Amino acid sequence: MTLHNDIERVLFSEQQILSGIDRVAREVTAAYQGRDFTVVSVLKGSCVFASDLIRRIPIPLELAFLAASSYGNNTVSGELEINFFPAGTEIDGRNLLLVDDILDTGRTLYALKRELARRGARDVKTCVFLDKAARRAVPLAPDFRCFEVGDLFVVGYGLDFAGRYRNLPYVGALRKEVFAAAGQP
Ligand code: XMP
């Protein structure tokens, strides 16, 4: 048994993913030509995407990571705890490119963007691997995105279900039995 057995269908193959990232890397490169910037990868989901993306951007950049957790019910209200890695990552006056795995309701990136602006970032742009545009609950459109995806739960290429499947090299939909076995509809 391998993780592949749990996948009902592949939505984006490794080849498709890499050509989508090539396109977005060219867009990012053009946007930041001649400007210093920091790529901020939102953990854990975006680490696979971010590492493929930055290797296709041939201009200077810095790399940082953050983990965000909301401690209210509503991240839009900005009740967000942010931990940077490294802890002293410079925000004030920096151009930041927030990189995330998937934009769903948009609440996480919306709140993060607002908080980083409040901390003095000069400019905050967003780059997402997948965009579930139909699910958006806040007014946020990503500045860069690789692919749009419908309203279904997907795993692989950094995305997990119950902590698993991040290491699949493609994006796929899980078999129904996997959700059922985990007690989810
Ligand atoms: P919001 O709603 O704030 O949430 O945009 C974004 C986060 O929700 C998770 N998410 C998913 N994770 N497959 C996943 O593995 C999915 O289909 C999915 N949809 C949303 C993810 O953590 C993302 O960063």
Residue 94's φ and ψ, nearest 5 degrees, are: -90, 155
C-alpha separations of 148 from 20, 131, 134, 142, 178 in Å: 11, 5, 9, 11, 24
**pLDDT score of 184:** 83
Q: What is the pTM of this model?
A: 0.94
Instruction: Collect all residues with Cβ–Cβ distance below 8 Å to 182 and sequence separation of at least 6.
Output: 161, 162
pLDDT in tens, 156-180: 999 999 999 999 999 999 999 998 8
Query: What is the rounded CA–CA span in Å between residue 106 and residue 104?
Result: 5
pLDDT in tens, 6-60: 999 999 999 999 999 999 999 999 999 999 999 999 999 999 999 999 999 999 9
- The active-site residue out of 100, 101, 104, 131 is 104
Tokens of 67: 């983990």
∠12-16-18 over CA atoms, to 5°?
115
Task: Name the band, by pLDDT with cuts 50, 70 and 90, for residue 73.
Answer: low
Mutate to test the pocket of ligand 1, among 8, 74, 99, 102 (most ligand atoms within 8 A of CB): 102
